[in-house]
């Protein structure tokens, strides 16, 4: 029996480690978008830091912090890499007044004018009583927070964050901005504690790449194997290098929309949308008003980016070794969402990078830039149309052809690194016979 795994992100690596099956990866290094890299003055990416550590460390897909996770998974991570634990610091930045308000803003209304806080509380109270149904994300935001907070932040932010889809997609990720009227009232007058799914998180001391490389060392990995077509009838995978393999069972961590295109299987309904994101990593001299938060959400910016993350505010190890004590430099990632297949040209990309730097300098978050490096993430978000059955039908038809989708993008749902590792370990163990074959697909994904 020939069994294979496609994709060497954290899910595919975990499945390969648990099963012993070969893992086929398009790139020449493991980890997918959950991977660190290093950039020095020559602007050449490396997967290992130079001997003296005089470089910036970045993530391919922006800050990927490890939150949540069941104890066995966290212990597994600990077994491969030393980690540190952090308490989240996040905020919303309002450019007009150059003010930072702790996130989530509905629990920190004391930072606003009294009239705004009073109006927002009245609207949230009315929403809590009426409990209006919500068909779309836009309706859910209005029904949860009311027009005042939506006009101030939620509406413009989600317009940027979803690349304009928020009025059409289903309500999702409510736990990212929890609705609690009692906490909102408390936060209008006093301090409130952090809430949400990622109030604490861990991160490998040596970077995510050290962790993924150690997983890869325990796997049978085949690099440079980019899939171009899958014949689901004959169970055959074709690669860009001209080779092909047959399979009896296949575990895929590739995005669900990409798998449907590769297999040419039809489900008869419109695919759910998958906006892309441009991640611009920047190493720079620190500005005089540089935030101390780990990441900051934005309702507006000069060129439409919706979040700025500060790697070095999480840990100084993201800075060149000589700068870690001086605290005069900063390692940043900037995120801008795009509709599907609207990747900017090289000319547009150059202009955008200049505009982003100019905006950050106007805000006095950075001064002189030392390195800047953009990465295009083709499938960054996994939204669903309101009432869509595409995901369920797609997963079902793939399973009928002995293809099991495992992990965040493969199953088209939001989850963190720890849960993606769990799913890979469970799938690899179950399908290889290391665990009970009675384990259901539902319990894996």
| 265-294 per-position pLDDT tens digit | 999 999 999 999 999 999 999 999 999 999
| 375-409 per-position pLDDT tens digit | 999 999 999 999 999 999 999 999 999 999 999 99
Can you tell me the mean pLDDT for 160-180?
86
Cβ–Cβ < 8 Å for 371, 41: yes
Single out the residue of 396, 397, 377, 401 nearest to residue 442, CA to CA: 396
Looking at residue 12, its pLDDT comes to: 98
Single out the residue of 271, 252, 255, 276 nearest to residue 392, CA to CA: 271
CA distance linking residue 356 with residue 337, whole number of Å = 14
Cβ–Cβ < 8 Å for 384, 172: yes
Sorting pLDDT into bands at 50, 70 and 90, what band is 239? very high
Q: What is the 3-state secondary structure (H, E, C) of 241-302?
A: CCCEEECCEEEECCCHHHHHHHHCCCCCCCCCCCCEEEEEEEEEEECCCCCCCCEEECCCCC
At residue 337, the 3 state secondary structure works out as strand
Looking at residue 141, its pLDDT comes to: 95
Widest distance between CA atoms in the chain:
69
Looking at residue 442, its pLDDT comes to: 35
What long-range pairs does 311-317 form, CB within 8 A, spacing at least 24?
311/57, 311/58, 311/59, 311/63, 313/89, 314/63, 314/65, 314/86, 314/203, 315/84, 315/86, 315/203, 317/57, 317/205, 317/207
Locate the DSSP E strands across 12-148. Answer: 22-24, 36-39, 45-46, 56-59, 83-87, 90-94, 99-102
Looking at residue 196, its pLDDT comes to: 80
Tell whether the model's pLDDT for residue 170 goes beyond 70.
yes
Sorting pLDDT into bands at 50, 70 and 90, what band is 174? low
Share of the chain above pLDDT 70, in %: 96
Looking at residue 126, its pLDDT comes to: 93
Sorting pLDDT into bands at 50, 70 and 90, what band is 130? confident
At residue 238, the 3 state secondary structure works out as strand
| 189-226 per-position pLDDT tens digit | 999 988 888 889 999 999 999 999 999 999 999 999 99
CA distance linking residue 26 with residue 426, whole number of Å = 23
Tell whether the model's pLDDT for residue 107 goes beyond 60.
yes
Sorting pLDDT into bands at 50, 70 and 90, what band is 445? very low
Can you tell me the mean pLDDT for 218-239?
97
Looking at residue 129, its pLDDT comes to: 86
Sign of the alpha-carbon dihedral angle for 135, 136, 138, 141: positive
Mean pLDDT, the chain, as a whole number?
Answer: 92
Domains in the chain with CATH codes: 3-36+45-51+207-269+386-444 (3.50.50.60), 105-187 (no CATH)
Looking at residue 173, its pLDDT comes to: 67
| 340-384 per-position pLDDT tens digit | 989 999 999 999 999 999 999 999 999 999 999 999 999 999 999
How many CB atoms within 10 Å of residue 36?
25
Q: What is the dihedral of CA 17, 19, 23, 28, to 10 degrees?
A: 10
Can you tell me the mean pLDDT for 240-265?
97
How does DSSP assign 47-69, residue by residue?
SS--TT--SEEEETTS---B---
């Amino acid at each position: 029996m020939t069994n294979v795994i496609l994709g060497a992100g954290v899910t595919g690596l975990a499945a390969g480690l648990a099963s012993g099956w070969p893992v086929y990866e398009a790139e020449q290094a493991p980890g997918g978008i959950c991977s660190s890299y290093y950039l020095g003055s020559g602007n050449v990416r490396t997967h290992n830091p130079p001997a003296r550590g005089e470089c910036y460390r970045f993530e391919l897909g922006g800050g990927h912090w490890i939150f949540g996770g069941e104890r066995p998974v966290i212990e597994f991570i600990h077994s491969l890499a030393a980690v540190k634990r952090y308490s989240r610091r996040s905020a919303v930045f309002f450019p007009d007044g150059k003010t930072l308000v702790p996130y989530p803003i509905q629990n920190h209304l004391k930072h606003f004018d009294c009239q705004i806080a009073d109006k927002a509380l009245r609207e949230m109270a009315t929403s809590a009583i009426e409990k209006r149904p919500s068909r779309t994300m836009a309706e859910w935001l209005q029904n949860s927070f009311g027009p005042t907070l939506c006009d101030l932040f939620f509406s413009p932010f989600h317009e940027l964050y979803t690349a304009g889809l928020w009025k059409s997609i289903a309500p999702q990720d409510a736990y990212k901005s929890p609705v609690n009227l009692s906490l909102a009232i408390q936060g209008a007058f006093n301090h409130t504690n952090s809430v949400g799914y990622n109030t604490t998180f861990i991160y490998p001391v040596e970077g995510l790449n050290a962790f993924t490389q150690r997983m890869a060392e325990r796997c049978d990995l085949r690099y440079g194997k980019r899939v171009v077509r899958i014949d689901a009838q004959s169970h055959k995978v074709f690669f860009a290098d001209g080779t092909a393999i047959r399979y009896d069972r296949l575990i895929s961590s590739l995005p669900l929309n990409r798998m449907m295109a590769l297999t040419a299987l039809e489900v008869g309904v419109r695919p759910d949308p998958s906006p892309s994101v441009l991640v611009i990593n920047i190493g720079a001299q620190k500005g005089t008003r540089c935030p101390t938060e780990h990441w900051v959400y934005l309702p507006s910016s000069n060129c439409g980016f919706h979040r700025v993350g500060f790697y070095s505010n999480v840990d100084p190890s993201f800075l060149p070794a000589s700068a870690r004590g001086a605290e005069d430099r900063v390692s940043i990632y900037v995120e801008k969402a795009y509709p599907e297949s609207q990747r900017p040209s090289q000319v547009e990309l150059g202009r955008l990078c200049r505009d982003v730097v100019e905006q950050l300098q106007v805000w006095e978050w950075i001064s002189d830039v030392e390195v800047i490096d953009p990465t295009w993430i083709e499938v960054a978000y996994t939204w669903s149309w309101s009432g869509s059955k595409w995901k369920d039908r797609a997963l079902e038809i793939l399973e009928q052809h002995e293809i099991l989708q495992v992990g965040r993008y493969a199953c088209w749902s939001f989850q963190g690194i720890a849960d993606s590792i769990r799913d890979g370990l469970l799938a690899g163990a179950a399908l290889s016979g290391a665990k009970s074959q009675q384990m259901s697909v539902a319990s894996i994904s």
